[in-house]
Amino acid sequence: MTPPREVGRSTLGRRVWGALLRLVTPWRVRRRRLPTPELPPWAKVGKKRLAHIQRVVALLEEWAEAMGVTQRERTRWLHAAWLHDALRDAPASRLVGTTHGAAAADRSAQEGETDRGVLDAVRYHSSGYAGWDDVGKMLFLADFLEPGRRSSRRRRAKLAARVPRNRDGVLREVVGQQIRQRLRAGRPINPLMLDFWNSIAASR
């Protein structure tokens, strides 16, 4: 049996050692964990829409891991993903004169969201936006390439696999494809999408 005096020394030693470790541990290791993003309580989404959002989130998590982004940036991506279609299934009367993305961005701002990159990503996720930072670009890609979409699944999967290595190249392919599809169908092209294409084409 260990003598009482030795137990006291051992306990004191552990306390001192623990205090020293806390002093010398880098702040990056001890920093507060960021909260995990989730669907906001004001969201109006059905089961299919929720499944789509979850696939977008999962794809962004996969890319964030492969690209080695910071925890803060990963959280921004996921926050935008949970918000982007939060009002997609809201009654049409709530979306008069606006889009579901803009409505979700406005509601998020009312609830206290201040990250302009996240708000712009949500607001313009259907059209693209030349002023986006990485959050908007990643959300745009994940929304288009998530594996639940039925058309061109094999091609989408190949593009998704390339994103961590060549994000900007895949982005140009995706935006170019969307513009060509609209032209073939005789549909108008949103000026925001044209501005977005010009901005990413010029950055080659």
Distance of CA 185 to the CA centre of its chain: 30
Give the tens place of pLDDT for each residue, 5-35: 444 455 555 554 555 445 444 434 334 455 5
User: What is the CATH number assigned to the segment(s) 36-202?
Assistant: 1.10.3210.10
For the chain, the helix, strand and coil percentages under 3-state DSSP, each to the nearest 5:
65, 0, 35
Give the tens place of pLDDT for each residue, 156-192: 999 999 999 999 999 999 999 999 999 999 999 999 9
Q: pLDDT band for 202, please (50, 70, 90 cuts).
A: confident
Give the CA distances from residue 35 to residues 83, 86, 151, in Å, rounded to whole numbers and listed in that order. Answer: 15, 19, 35
Rounded-to-integer distance, Cα 83 and Cα 104, Å: 7
**The model's pTM:** 0.82
The predicted pLDDT at position 94 comes to 86
Give the tens place of pLDDT for each residue, 34-86: 556 899 999 999 999 999 999 999 999 999 999 999 999 999 999 999 999 99
Rounded-to-integer distance, Cα 88 and Cα 109, Å: 17
The answer to whether 59 and 142 are in contact (CB under 8 A) is yes
Rounded-to-integer distance, Cα 135 and Cα 33, Å: 20
> What distance separates the 2 farthest-apart alpha carbons in the chain?
89
The predicted pLDDT at position 203 comes to 79
Give the tens place of pLDDT for each residue, 80-106: 999 999 999 999 888 989 999 999 999
Residues 6+ apart with CB under 8 A from 192: 124, 127, 128, 129, 130
190-194 contact pairs (CB < 8 A, 24+): 190/127, 190/128, 192/124, 192/127, 192/128, 192/129, 192/130, 193/127, 193/128
The predicted pLDDT at position 34 comes to 54
Q: What are phi and psi of 111, to 5 degrees?
A: -85, 0
* Sequence spans of domains, the chain: 1-31, 36-202
